[in-house]
Amino acid sequence: MARLALALAVALAACAHRPPGPPEARTRDVAVGGARFRLRWHAEDDAFARRLQGMLERAVPRVERWGGLAQPVTITIHPSHEALVVAARSPDYGWLHAWAQYDSVELQSPRTWEGRVRERQVEELVTHELTHCAIYQRSGDGATWPFKEIPRWFGEGLATYTAGQGYRFATVEELWRFYERTPPAPGAPAGGAAPRSGAPAAFRGDPIVDPDAISHDQSDLVYGAAYHATEFLIARYGEARVDAVLANMGRGMRFPAAFREAVGISDAEFAADFRRYVIWQGWRR
């Protein structure tokens, strides 16, 4: 009996000193049309989780123009920016509020964003991230989608275009000013007029063909260029060609071959055409 009492005392002491674990996440399964979601959040975001369901009902029809979501998507609402960065395994961009993959969206709770947050802004972001999921699901399966070589301008451009976010990023005029002072990337097809005198001699990144070089400090330009390039692509070739790019990747092609097959020119030639389109406007002198 004494041994039993001692063992019980030790067990109770261990329980009393055990540090509390993280709060248990809440979950809810949601269906919107043919799309299925699992929402995950903590108690402090109960109100946003309820609003998120309404956002999904408005976002899914917009995403369906690119084939919709064939696989269920888990959306996790994170209580801080730091938690988002850890979950996404992303570089710590201060402006980052969400991260999408094939069947998941990591979303920083809007109550922790800096500044005034409008409901429209959050809904646009949800639509943006679900467009990424749709692109990945159309282009491959859970194992092959990361290897499709989808350039940032196409992925981010289609996402910002679908979400109607063009007004939030750099204008075509701002992009023109960048091109006026920055030469084309080495080895890129000729993209129009040379930079004006006084422009730097060294290449310092391009928002279309080399966005990684400037995305940390000039994300507004990178996303704006992606949006305007996609708008240019759809205006010139039509949505059916864009859909064909996704379908070609779904049949096994990587992006460069899928784009050439669907559009009739290489993605590098398209980037040069877009640069010419921006530069020759001059700015609309």
Contacts of 277 (CB under 8 A, 6+ apart): 232
Q: Does domain 26-143 have CATH number 3.40.30.160?
A: yes
Residues contacting residue 103 through CB under 8 Å, at least 6 positions apart: 71, 72, 73, 74, 133, 137, 142
This prediction's pTM: 0.85
- Radius of gyration, alpha carbons of the chain: 23
Helix ranges, 42-102 (H): 46-63, 81-88
CA distance 52 to 78: 13
The two three-digit tokens of residue 60, written as one number: 């899914």
Domain with CATH 3.40.30.160 in the chain: 26-143
Q: pLDDT tens digits for 153-191? A: 999 999 999 999 999 999 999 999 999 887 776 655 554
- Element spanning 32, H or E: strand 26-32
SS3 37: strand
Give the strand order in the sheet containing 98-100.
26-32, 35-41, 73-78, 104-108, 98-100
197 pLDDT band, cuts 50/70/90, is very low
Find out whether 48 and 109 touch, Cβ atoms under 8 Å: yes
| pLDDT confidence tier of residue 92, bands split at 50, 70 and 90 | confident
CB count, 10 Å around CB of 284? 8
**pLDDT at residue 112, rounded to an integer:** 95
Whether the Cβ atoms of residue 227 and residue 120 lie closer than 8 Å to each other: no
Question: How far apart are the C-alpha atoms of 233 and 103, rounded to whole Å?
Answer: 27
pLDDT digit string (tens) for 242-284? 999 999 999 999 999 999 999 999 999 999 999 999 998 765 6
Q: Tell me: pLDDT of 7 over 50.
A: no
pLDDT of residue 116: 85
CA distances from 166 to 69, 92, 122 (A): 23, 24, 15
Q: CA 36, CA 233: separation in Å to the nearest integer?
A: 30
What gap in Å lies between CA 271 and CA 268, rounded to an integer? 5
Q: Which residues contact 84 (CB under 8 A, 6 or more apart)?
A: 78, 90, 96, 97, 98, 99, 106, 107, 108
Sign of the CA dihedral 42, 43, 45, 50?
positive
Tokens of 103: 């069947």
- Given a cut of 80, whether residue 6 has pLDDT beyond it is no
Beta-ladder partners of 41: 26
pLDDT surpassing 50 at residue 207: yes
- Residue 136 and residue 101: Cα distance in Å, rounded? 7
Q: What is the mean pLDDT of the chain?
A: 87
Two structure tokens written together for 141? 């399966």
Output the pLDDT for position 201.
Answer: 39
Contact 49, 28 (CB under 8 A): yes
Q: How far is CA 39 from the centre of its chain?
A: 19
